[in-house]
Amino acid sequence: MPRESDHTVPNSAAPETESAETTPESASKPLLAVDTLDVHYGKIHAVRGVSFAVASGEIVSIVGANGAGKSTIMWALTGVVRSSGGRVLWDGEPLPKSPHEVVRKGLALVPERRRLFAPLTVRENLVMGAYLRKDKNVDKDYERIFTLFPVLRQRLGQLAGTLSGGEQQMLAISRALLSAPRMLLFDEPSLGLAPRIVEQLMETIVELRKSGITVLMVEQNAVQALEISDRAHVLEAGALVKGGTGRELLDDPAVRCAYLGEIAQDATA
Ligand SMILES: Nc1ncnc2c1ncn2[C@@H]1O[C@H](COP(=O)(O)OP(=O)(O)OP(=O)(O)O)[C@@H](O)[C@H]1O
Ligand SMILES: [Mg+2]
């Protein structure tokens, strides 16, 4: 599936930085609050003063083009890269900076391109997901996963690298679920999947939210993500430039032009 959008971002005026007023949940205590986050890779300023919040039970998306900084935000949240400024609060407390502490706190990443252990079996990949668990509910969570994705039970002995793209995404989600998260972070979950499989995936994300899991998703192919999102933000060159409900962004001509594959005239009509 081609990833690159050839459309240029239509707003030639300086991007309006999102203000605090655009986050209606900021009045109540959010589960995740990101405040003026900065990340540098040497001289590259990849994430620029990004602020947003996710309330418990929400699905929030960040949409942006190649290189906008989507994965970097996810890596900064999960302790994979160090931020150079700003702070992240989790349930009102500073989020730890080491990846395993972040997982212990209940934040689990479903990474871009799944990042499965390809030469290991499905069973072994799942065991990796539960490696920090000390509680006795792991067996229940395996049952929950096999109810959600029955095909994985049949594939337990199969090497992860030989699964179909859709099955690999199911395994990546299951591995994250086995850490018993309160919030799942999805980095481009639709990448490389057929539209029908993406639709099923989005239905699964909605199901997960119904089961009490909060969702933060970054996506380049934005239509399906926006359709299921309570709120969403647009990320351009490391900065959030626009925010609204998923529906508002879906209906925004500039967003449609830049991220939903529509031609430029539609944006100015
Ligand atoms: N390890 C790194 N070292 C140096 N620069 C990096 C590194 N990782 C990312 N970058 C740069 O940071 C910027 C943001 O990259 P990032 O991977 O976060 O974007 P993205 O929105 O996830 O893109 P994509 O849609 O291609 O996954 C890009 O300019 C990228 O080249
Ligand atoms: Mg990325």
Ligand 1 lining (C-beta closer than 6 Å): 41, 44, 46, 64, 66-72, 112, 220
Residue 21 lies in a domain: no
Residue 224 lies in a domain: yes
Residue with CA nearest ligand 1 atom 7: 41
Range of the domain at 126: 113-180
User: How far is the centre of ligand 1, averaged over its atoms, from the C-alpha of 35 (Å)?
Assistant: 20
In this structure, are 221 and 236 located in the same domain? yes
Residue 210 lies in a domain: yes
User: How far is the centre of ligand 1, averaged over its atoms, from the C-alpha of 47 (Å)?
Assistant: 10
Beta strands in the chain, from DSSP E residues, in sequence order:
32-41, 44-54, 59-64, 85-90, 93-94, 107-110, 183-187, 214-219, 231-236, 239-245
CA angle, corner 154, sides to 170 and 137, nearest 5?
Answer: 65
Residue 195 lies in a domain: no
Measured in Å, how far apart are the chain's first and last C-alpha atoms? 29
Q: Would the pLDDT of 129 be above 80?
A: yes
Residue with CA nearest ligand 1 atom 12: 46
Among 44, 63, 218, 235, name the best residue to mutate to test ligand 1's pocket (greatest count of ligand atoms within 8 A of Cβ): 44
User: How far is the centre of ligand 2, averaged over its atoms, from the C-alpha of 112 (Å)?
Assistant: 6
| Proximal ligand: closest to the CA of 234 | 1
CATH number at residue 77: 3.40.50.300
Residue ending a domain, among 149, 180, 211, is 180
Q: How confident is the model at residue 139 (pLDDT cuts 50, 70, 90)?
A: confident
Residue 243 lies in a domain: yes
Residue 59 lies in a domain: yes
Q: What is the mean pLDDT of the segment spanning 186-212?
A: 91
| Proximal ligand: closest to the CA of 62 | 1
In this structure, are 102 and 206 located in the same domain? yes
Residue 125 lies in a domain: yes
Atom of ligand 1 nearest to the CA of 74: 18
Residue 91 lies in a domain: yes
User: How far is the centre of ligand 1, averaged over its atoms, from the C-alpha of 83 (Å)?
Assistant: 14
- 178: amino acid identity, one letter: L
CA distance 191 to 104: 27
Domain count, the chain: 2
Q: What is the mean pLDDT of the segment spanning 60-77?
A: 96
| Proximal ligand: closest to the CA of 67 | 1
Q: What is the mean pLDDT of the segment spanning 126-154?
A: 88
User: What mean pLDDT value characterizes the chain?
Assistant: 86
Structure tokens at 114: 């799944």
| Proximal ligand: closest to the CA of 77 | 1
CA distance 148 to 62: 25
Burial class (CB within 10 angstroms; exposed 0-12, middle 13-18, buried 19+) of 209: middle
The number of residues making up the chain comes to: 269
Residue-wise DSSP of 97-112: SSHHHHHHHTEEEE-T
Q: How confident is the model at residue 218 (pLDDT cuts 50, 70, 90)?
A: very high
Pairing of strands 85-90, 231-236: unpaired
In this structure, are 80 and 207 located in the same domain? yes
Burial class (CB within 10 angstroms; exposed 0-12, middle 13-18, buried 19+) of 144: middle
User: How far is the centre of ligand 1, averaged over its atoms, from the C-alpha of 70 (Å)?
Assistant: 8
Q: Would the pLDDT of 205 be above 80?
A: yes
Encode pLDDT of 10-31 as tens digits.
333 334 455 444 444 444 689 9
In this structure, are 117 and 52 located in the same domain? no
Q: Residue 171: count other Cβ atoms within 10 Å of its Cβ.
A: 26
Residue ending a domain, among 180, 212, 227, is 180
User: How far is the centre of ligand 2, averaged over its atoms, from the C-alpha of 67 (Å)?
Assistant: 7
